[in-house]
Amino acid sequence: MKIGVFVCHCGSNIAGTVDTAQVAEAARALPGVAFATDTMYACSEPGQEGIIDAVKENELDGVVVASCTPRMHEATFRRTVERAGLNRYMFEMANIREHVSWIGKDMESNTNKAADLVAMAVAKLRENRLLFPKKFDINKRVMIIGGGVAGIQAALDCAEGGLEVVLVEKTTTIGGKMAKLDKTFPTVDCSSCILGPKMVDVAQHPNITLYAAAEVDDVSGYVGNFKVAIRRKQTYVDWNLCTGCGLCMEKCPSKKTPDPFNEFVGTTTAINIPFPQAIPKKASINAETCIMLRKGKCGKCAEVCPTEAIRFDQKEEIAHEEVGAIVAATGYDLFDHSIYTEYGGGRIRDVITSMQYERMLSASGPTGGHVKRPSNGEEPKSVVFIQCVGSRDKSVNRPYCSGFCCMYTAKQTILTKDHIPDSQSYVFYMDIRSPGKNYDEFTRRAMEEYGARYIRGRVAQVYEKGDKLIVRGADTLTGTSIEVEADLVVLAVGAESTRGASALAEKLRISYDTYGFYMESHPKLKPVETNTAGVFLAGCCQGPKDIPSSVGQGSAAASKVLTLFSKDQLESDPQISQVDIKRCIGCGKCISTCPFGAIKEIDFRGQPKAEVIETVCQGCGICTSTCPQGAIQLQHFTDNQILAEVMSLCPPLLEKSFE
Amino acid sequence: MPPLAGKELRIVGFLCNWCSYGGADTAGVGRFAQPTDLRIIRVPCSGRIDPLFILRTFMNGADGVLVSGCHPRDCHYSEGNFYARRRLEILQRLMPYIGIEPERFAYTWVSASEGQRWQKVVQTFTNEVHAIGPIKPFGATPEQVEARLSKLLDSAGGKATEKQEVERVAS
Ligand code: SF4
Ligand code: SF4
């Protein structure tokens, strides 16, 4: 085999602390190396042309580039060697930048280490084999998980782009958190007026299949060909018949049902349509409060339903869908403030969350848009807002900023003034974070035009005194302590990853950070991709975001899906396992360890043998290190290849002693 | 290239591509200075690491071996690092019986974002290996073999059967 070695200077990035000429010199002495040189920028156009010319001139069979990390440019150089007429797997990279020149300054040790890494790469390359990707068809359907504004945007964009979309929403209606909001910042336009039409578009789009009250149960397969099992929860109403007339709600005698859509401000009926603009506008029964389901008698709803849609015996069902790509848009949940005992720990009735306040402000909310103190139903005149409840606080394991609370609090102070002109708002804040377009102007308006009083400092305690609340805190700008008498305290609760986020991530095989937010493939350059091909992210599942960013990411994810589907076929990665049928003893150990079920047992002349299902194997190599026979080998990372690297670093001692 | 005499020891790392190799890259991008002893072999998943690779590395004279993968439950292949953990834990416990100081072998989890943690891991492990010093060669050294051979040859005194015996020993 004739190998060419190219040692990159990367300007002074590498050449500054590695003697690249000496590394090339050392490489020339390695067995198999027919050509070695140093080069200024291997990845630049002249650099790549230089490699191609050298391959052709010296009739090389393989190339080693010693430069940056393969995680950056392996794909680039594989294309280069392919252009030179070689198989793209006849290429290895030695990482002499991230792993050498950037982490040490000593020229001698760096040069020595770089030469070692090159020798390793050459040793491995000598064991490389030609590998050929296979083409496979893609199923141009996409599943979007989560029907909040990010998911809705992704669904509509994909559907408009001509794709068939499966939208899965866990609650009975799409709309997500945005549907609960009264107004949005910084325009103070009505949330449901801008979201509503989009929700209707989802319902009416011929390309969108909506599964509401459904959750993803299982995901298998790979990019282009995922198989998804969707669990459709029972709603006890036949949605094919339900017209959303709401007669059942009027007649239902169980009126004390907790109302999650209204953030448990007020109650609702056991059979319920969450809000007038719900999509789909279908009723569902809460089994915990339905008298019929609990005690076996009642059935009032069934009596009045004009289409006889009530099904008390409905069971949950599993639906199966096949898609080529998945967008996770599962959103966020709100921080549970009861952990903060100093704010009342959820005990004091007039201490509420910002989302509860939002529902009170909404004309279609439980109070008909009238702000009332939960304790006595009176209009509050003094409202205190406390910021960063569950944000930027290490003591509750939420060190991150939720990003949008400063803004929605400013909005709520404005709305408070609109609703109750003779009211006064106070805001306890840490810093005001308002970096969006027109955002800072907006917070200023809250202060200057609407007279909200901003107090920089943390609240130490909220307690009841008579029928008032006393909020005691520090004003860190004046260095004094301050007490404010309040009728209502609104906690700006932060965002956290949605419950069940990690379980879903494990099904999708994507990673998540310490707080359960999904990890993007690259924080700057691949913000909506994940490390699992064909799985994309949109909205707050990746981290707290406001509406414009969520919508932007929804569209970005959709464009990634459309790009992926712009080809009819994808290439499979040939770095997968292969069974040597002569060596395999059919013990089945690999079958039971493969996390993807990618190995099946076959009958070979009456004997059991293992066989890898090419399209399912992900190339982890767990089977290879399990097989007692060494019969199943992960291509490009075979035992021989890895041992060649080991031997290059640590030559066998006995051989050495007889040299 | 042998390690630089007096400066370095031979330390070999096996790192999974998705997390720890990325973490080592992140450390590089952040210019987190590290000792130069370590040479990294990239594998797709820590579950790909056969404990026999590690033993082979030690038998061939490595002074230390470091394995690093994704944090438990964070594996790109969902469960590879669980397999790795079981295998490596057993290997770890067998080290004294094999005759290798257990400190020469370590396994850990570093994610792609933890550049600083990687720096610390390399720093600590390299220091630990340096504290024990170079590994004692396995089996007989060339000098020992020679000494034994000449002793046997002397005592054999040219007898054919014993000569065969000597050859057997030598091979
Ligand atoms: S490499 Fe082996 S264990 Fe991993 S997915 Fe492929 S067949 Fe399964
Ligand atoms: S573990 Fe090896 S020998 Fe056993 S069935 Fe799998 S390939 Fe065959």
Nearest-by-Cβ selection for B48 from A531, A637, A652? A637
Residues of A in contact with B43 (CB under 8 A): 621, 637, 642
**CA A275 – CA A391 distance, rounded (Å):** 30
Residues of B in contact with A102 (CB under 8 A): 28-29, 31
Residues 41-70 of A with CB under 8 A from B: 69-70
Query: Which of A584, A612, A622, A623 to probe ligand 2 with, by most ligand atoms within 8 A of CB?
Result: A584
pLDDT at A50 > cutoff 60: yes
Instruction: Decide if A406 contacts A420 (C-beta within 8 A).
Output: no
Residue in chain A lying closest to B141 (CA): A657
Residues of A in contact with B135 (CB under 8 A): none
| Proportion of chain B above pLDDT 70, given as a percent | 87
- A376 to chain B, any CB pair closer than 8 A? The answer is no
Amino acid at residue number A260:
P
A622 lines ligand 2 (CB under 6 A): no
CATH for A141-233+316-331+498-566?
A: 3.50.50.60
Q: In sequence order, which residues have a C-beta less than 8 Å from that of residue A301 and are 6 or more positions away?
A: A248, A251, A252, A271, A283, A285, A310
Instruction: Decide if A233 contacts A281 (C-beta within 8 A).
Output: no
Among A69, A97, A75, CA closest to A12: A97
pTM of whole model > 0.90? no
Given the candidates 3.30.70.980, 3.40.50.150, 3.40.50.2300, 3.50.50.60, the CATH classification of the domain at A336-494 is: 3.50.50.60
Q: What is the pLDDT of residues A21-39, one digit of tens each?
A: 999 999 999 999 999 999 9
Given the candidates 3.40.190, 1.20.1050, 2.60.450, 3.40.50, the CATH classification of the domain at A3-133 is: 3.40.50
Q: What is the whole-number distance in angstroms between the Cα of residue B88 and the centre of ligand 1?
A: 19
Please report, for chain A, the start and end positions of each structural domain, with discontinuous segments joined by +: 3-133, 141-233+316-331+498-566, 247-304, 336-494, 577-634
Average pLDDT over residues A55-80: 95
Q: What is the pLDDT of residues A238-259, one digit of tens each?
A: 999 999 999 999 999 999 999 9
Instruction: Decide if A212 contacts A173 (C-beta within 8 A).
Output: yes
Q: What is the whole-number distance in angstroms between the Cα of residue A343 and the centre of ligand 1?
A: 52
Three-class HEC string of B44-92 = CCHHHCCHHHHHHHHHCCCCEEEEEECCCCCCCCCCHHHHHHHHHHHHH
Q: Which of the 8 DSSP states describes residue A393?
A: B
Q: Three-class SS of residue B147?
A: helix
Which residue has a Cα nearest atom 2 of ligand 2?
A627
CA distances for A291 relative to A258, A299, A440, angstroms: 14, 8, 51
Q: What is the whole-number distance in angstroms between the Cα of residue A590 and the centre of ligand 2?
A: 5
CATH for A577-634?
A: 3.30.70.20
Beta pairing partners, A321: A228
Give me the pLDDT at residue B161, please. 56
Separation of first and last alpha carbons in chain A: 24
Average pLDDT of the residues of chain A:
94
Lowest-confidence pick of A6-15, A256-265, A342-351, B135-144: B135-144
- DSSP assignment of A121-160 equals HHHHHHH-------EEE---EEEEE--SHHHHHHHHHHHH
**ipTM of model over 0.90:** no
Ordered by where they begin, the domains of chain B are: 11-156 (3.40.50)
Ligand nearest to the CA of A630: 2
In the block, residue with structure tokens 């030695």: A94
Angle between helices A107-127 and A639-649 (to 10 degrees): 150
Average pLDDT over residues A534-539: 97
Residue in chain A lying closest to B4 (CA): A109
**Are domains A141-233+316-331+498-566 and A336-494 of this chain identical in fold?**
yes
DSSP element (H, E) containing A644: helix A639-649
For residue B2, cis peptide bond before it (omega within 30 degrees of 0): no
